[in-house]
């Protein structure tokens, strides 16, 4: 059994292997001026973290006639599991869910919205309906529509309601 301190090179080797460690967020790749006599500064494209935005989602689902009590219970469970839901409207063969989603871009917001019904179908015991409509609009467009009077009214009352 070999006994040595952690990180010590094996006996008989002259040098020690170096491992790479990521620099911290405040690491400056350009050395101080006293060390830059003949060097060019290291330049890298500064990656900015993408800003997430709010997207208003309207998801429409439809399928075979289901008792209203079961539809309501499933939508209420979905709203309980995911409090981001603003409002849901339902009938025996269709429903509409409206909520805000935070995402980097429209593609991400739409992808999350398209998974919502299927991923929660069993946990919330939702009807086996399919998604038949999806609208994803940014926050500014939503507020512009409401202000001009031709968009969906603000979600009030919040909750699960029949059509």
Stretch 151-157: mean pLDDT = 60
pLDDT band at 20 (very low <50, low <70, confident <90, very high): very low
Three-state DSSP at 6 gives: coil
- Residue 69 gets the label, from left (phi > 0), alpha (psi -120 to 50) or beta, of alpha
- pLDDT tens for each residue of 100-111: 999 999 999 999
Dist. CA 38–CA 156, nearest whole Å: 67
- pLDDT tens for each residue of 59-95: 999 999 999 999 999 999 998 887 777 889 999 999 9
Q: Which helix (H) or strand (E) holds 145?
A: helix 139-148
Residue 93 half-sphere exposure toward CB, CA atoms < 13 A: 3
CA angle 113, 163, 77 (to 5 degrees): 50
Higher pLDDT, 140 or 27: 140
């Amino acid at each position: 059994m070999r006994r040595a301190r952690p990180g010590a090179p094996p006996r008989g080797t002259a040098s020690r292997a170096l491992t790479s460690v990521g620099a911290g967020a405040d690491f400056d790749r350009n050395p101080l001026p006293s060390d830059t006599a003949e060097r060019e500064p290291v330049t890298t494209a500064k990656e900015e973290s993408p800003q997430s935005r709010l997207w208003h989602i309207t998801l429409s689902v439809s399928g075979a006639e289901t008792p209203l009590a079961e539809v309501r219970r499933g939508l209420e469970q979905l709203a309980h599991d995911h409090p981001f839901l603003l409002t849901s409207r339902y009938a025996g063969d269709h429903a509409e869910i409206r909520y805000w989603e935070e995402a980097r871009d429209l593609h991400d917001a739409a992808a999350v919205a398209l998974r919502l019904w299927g991923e929660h179908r069993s946990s919330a015991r939702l009807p086996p309906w399919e998604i038949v409509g999806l609208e994803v609009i940014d926050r500014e467009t939503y507020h512009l529509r409401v202000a001009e009077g031709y968009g969906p009214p603000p979600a009030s009352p919040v909750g699960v309601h029949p059509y």
